[in-house]
Structure 1
Amino acid sequence: MSVWDALAILVAGVGAGGINAIVGSGTLLTFPVLLALGYPPVLATISNSIGLAPGSLTGAIGYRRELVGQRTRLIRFGAMALAGSLTGGALLLNLPEGVFESVVPVLIGISCVLIMMQPRITAWTRQRRAGRVNGGPVLPFGIYGAGVYGGYFAAAQGIVLISMMGITLDEELQRINALKNVLAFIVNATAAAFYITFASPAWPVVGLIAAGSVIGGYFGARFGRRLKPFALRVVIVLVGLTAAAQLLLGRV
């Protein structure tokens, strides 16, 4: 790894940490950088997931007050998120790499749509208050599905989680967001532990992304509200579409 490659990965990690602190989907920044530097898609995903995992803990801790009274949900949904993450990690490591290269552009496209629709989703969930206390019998399976998605390719999983829970739970949005942060941390940390045990990540990449995401998360939390959300979402979508194009062109 050259000095310039290391600097690019570190800067991408800083950006991803900041984006995750503000709107989520930092994977759509680091993943294309790793592809551009020549890392295979699966190795890039594994290393990226491990590197970004420590940053997700910050959001969970920051919302600890809003978690009061949600112990039952945390246990029930956390178990499903953990199981889903293990399933997604197993799929990533056992399916042929060609499957990943075919599926991920679709997942990136879905992520980009969710990112651009985030304001509408948030407004809709704020207006809806007809949900059940614990979301009914279907929500845990949705949490499991989001965990599979997060364990396989983590971009925009937070938006998926908060949209599902916002529709089904009779709860304030800030408390739903707190629950989302914990579930995302469970998925990310589980996937990271799974990959460390059963895969061979690029450890220099992991270290650079982890360091950058910690820095970016700190400054993103402090200064993120000064950025125009629409402009930031446009940048994330453009970066994500670049990653999808890289994967698609690589198969031509």
Structure 2
Amino acid sequence: MSAVDLLIAAGVALLAGGINSIAGGGSLILFPTLVALGLGTVPANVTNSVVQWPGYLGGVVGFRKEYEGQRARLIRFGAVALLGGTAGGVLLLTTPSEAFDVVVPVLVLLASLLLAIQPLLTRNLQRTGDDGARRDPAWLYLALFLATVYGGYFGGALGVILVGVLGVALHDLKLSNALKSALSAVTATISLLIFALFGPVDWLVVAVAAPASLVGGFLGARVAARIPTTPLRILIVTFGVAVSVYLFLRV
């Protein structure tokens, strides 16, 4: 790649890192950019995954205030994400991607619609007592496992799926958005290890774009923490639907 190409990759990585923290799905702008800059689809996919990893870490740092009092929940959810990400990585290495690619846009669209109707579900499912004392529903762990299996396998729009299921289960969109970044970071770490060992990573692109992704993730988290709940929900749902349409067109 030329110096100009590397600058373009870094700029898009900065934007993608911010999108991942705010709404999820940033990889869906970086991946096609890397392909347009000359990388093959497989090298672009694995390079994109490695580049995105620092952005997730930046998002975790940016959301640190939202994690106060959530240590036990983070440990439980993080263990599920570790198992799911590992399972997804194994699937990536042992199965063809065609069948899974057909399912991806459906998952993203359903997650977006789930988030759109979350206020209605919250009113219908609201339990008495303090939310912080309420136990997380058992179905949430299965949903998080399946979501992170997908994340370990492909990862595009994982944040949209995670914030959708977390939003319904926890009835707190901002907390769900923060937890989404932490779980994405765990899943991305597994992908990083797999791709670094077995994938055709373009390390020159990583050297330039990964720091930009880190900065974008941190700045995006700070922006997301200050957006009121309703506009944040509209932004995430709109972006999620747009991503699903994009994926449907690629199938």
In the superposition, the TM-score normalised over structure 2's length comes to: 0.77
**1:180: which partner in 2?**
180
CA distance in structure 2 between the aligned counterparts of 1:239 and 1:145, rounded to whole angstroms:
19
Summarize deviations over 1:160-183 as a string: whole Å, max 9, x none.
2222223233x5333333322211
CA distance in structure 1 between the aligned counterparts of 2:203 and 2:246, rounded to whole angstroms:
25
CA distance in structure 1 between the aligned counterparts of 2:93 and 2:87, rounded to whole angstroms:
10
Is 1:66 paired with 2:62?
Answer: no
| TM-superposed deviation, 1:114 | 4.3
**1:103: which partner in 2?**
100
| TM-superposed deviation, 1:85 | 0.5
**1:129: which partner in 2?**
126
Q: 1:30 to 1:162 in 2, by over 3 A?
A: same
Summarize deviations over 1:69-91 as a string: whole Å, max 9, x none.
33332222211111110111122
In the superposition, the TM-score normalised over structure 1's length comes to: 0.77
CA distance in structure 2 between the aligned counterparts of 1:70 and 1:186, rounded to whole angstroms:
16
**1:47: which partner in 2?**
47
**2:145: which partner in 1?**
144
**2:9: which partner in 1?**
9
CA distance in structure 2 between the aligned counterparts of 1:103 and 1:206, rounded to whole angstroms:
26
Unmatched 5+ stretches in structure 2: none
| TM-superposed deviation, 1:53 | 0.7
Unmatched 5+ stretches in structure 1: none
Matches within 5 A, 1:76-225: 76-95=76-95, 99-101=96-98, 103-104=100-101, 106-108=103-105, 110-111=107-108, 114-115=111-112, 117=113, 120-121=116-117, 123-124=119-120, 127=123, 128-130=125-127, 133-169=134-170, 172-221=172-221
Summarize deviations over 1:196-243 as a string: whole Å, max 9, x none.
233331212222331332343355456676xx9778976786677556
Q: 1:14 to 1:112 in 2, by over 3 A?
A: farther
Q: 1:197 to 1:124 in 2, by over 3 A?
A: farther
Summarize deviations over 1:2-33 as a string: whole Å, max 9, x none.
33432332222122122123222101101111
Among all aligned residue pairs of Structure 1 and Structure 2, give the percentage whose two residues are the same amino acid: 35
Q: 1:236 to 1:138 in 2, by over 3 A?
A: closer
CA distance in structure 2 between the aligned counterparts of 1:209 and 1:108, rounded to whole angstroms:
26
Q: 1:216 to 1:66 in 2, by over 3 A?
A: closer
SS at match of 1:12: helix
Kept in 1: contact 2:62–2:221 (CA 8 A): no
Kept in 2: contact 1:42–1:100 (CA 8 A): no
Summarize deviations over 1:129-182 as a string: whole Å, max 9, x none.
34893323322221111110111111222222222223233x533333332221
